[in-house]
Structure 1
Amino acid sequence: MTLREVTKLAQQGEGLHIEFKKKVSNPEKIVREVIALANTDGGYLMIGVDDDKTVSGHRYIDEEVYVLDKAIKDLIRPMVQYEQWIIPINEKKGVAVYHFEKSPKRPHYLYEEGRKKSFVRADDRTIQASREVWQILRRQKKPKDIIFNYGEKETKLMQALGDKSSITLKEYSKIAKLPRFIASKTLIRLVLANVLEVVPQEKEDVYMLKNLP
């Protein structure tokens, strides 16, 4: 990757597939971005790029890369595969670019506060994956035909989605008068069956009918 290509990539701005960091000041937090990119749709993590999209570089880019590489190796499970480029800007500064594919080993996670935590991208943000999103990521690794009976609880869900474009787990549980764990299983199953799509959110995920081609 050339400096011109890095600059062009940076000009796209942060989003679902791109994250900027000026420096690796807190590698424990940056690995969350790595996990989110690998769990969602892949993308680029750029070190030495300012929030205003300026590729200003970092004076000690090799040291920054060493610290981040070690954090990725030590903190993320299962291990994440990636490409990496270190591009000089001038004699003193450089920029690093990491590229992550949508991982076949997802969901990746880290241990934090005594439990596993996983992360996904939501537009230009990284958020913690809910239990439902975790299960969807895990089961999507081995896609198979999902067979289910279209019963009363599914009918109530479709009626609710006919009245509005999206629904949360809490709303569905209340409307269908279902225990939360049964409502959760139903939504997960319908996402895996390509009937619904889930949109991760910081507070509560939303589910909507999937637009098939």
Structure 2
Amino acid sequence: MWLRRTKTRSRVHNAPTLKFACSSFKDVHSLLYDGGGGGDSPSSPSIYHRNRSAKELIRSLSNPADREIRIRGAEKSVVLYFTSLRVIRRTFDDCSAVRSILRAFRVPIDERDLSMDSGFMDELQRILGESEKSKLTLPRVFTGGRYLGGAEEVRRLHESGELKKYLEGLPPADPGTCEACGGYSFVLCQECNGSHKCYRGKAGIGSCTSCNENGLVRCPSCSPAPL
């Protein structure tokens, strides 16, 4: 006796449906964040946060405790400590950005390039009271003889429009370029002709005491007297 074939219904498992959650532009932007995609905020702060940060910076600059960091004899100019070397890309970019911002205001700027004279490093270290040179980051800006801050502080004040107020009392800059140094603020030492070596009689050849390690001296026509 033959068994009757019965049709068995095979249960078809439904394939899992893909659900697509429509992400907002804010979520997409957070995925592109350089911090690894886990951050909730984009790399650049909003205008509100920038203005709030600038106001906090202004309040900190108004603190009497911050007025102790000053440069005597620089009340009528901006003093900028920076480097023109490209060894560290981020430091070079920060220095270039701050120089461009300050030059746009057409005010006198005493640019002190640490790559041209290592004595500026010791000078800045003495002014800020830092015991270790490794803690000194560049650039550093002083306006009217008073310490303003570094690249982040200058950017915040510039974006909020407050930087202009700190530079209003300064005289206008000379529009021309110094003919003696060509705008580099340094000239060759006349004592050693830039070799940093001098003949000292019986003592033989020694280091020149009139110039820096590069055989340069500050331009007497456009550079202020050293501190």
Highest CA radius of gyration, 1 or 2? 2
Q: TM-score w.r.t. structure 1 length?
A: 0.26
Question: Which structure features the higher share of strand residues?
Answer: 1
Q: TM-score w.r.t. structure 2 length?
A: 0.25
Question: Which structure features the higher share of helix residues?
Answer: 1
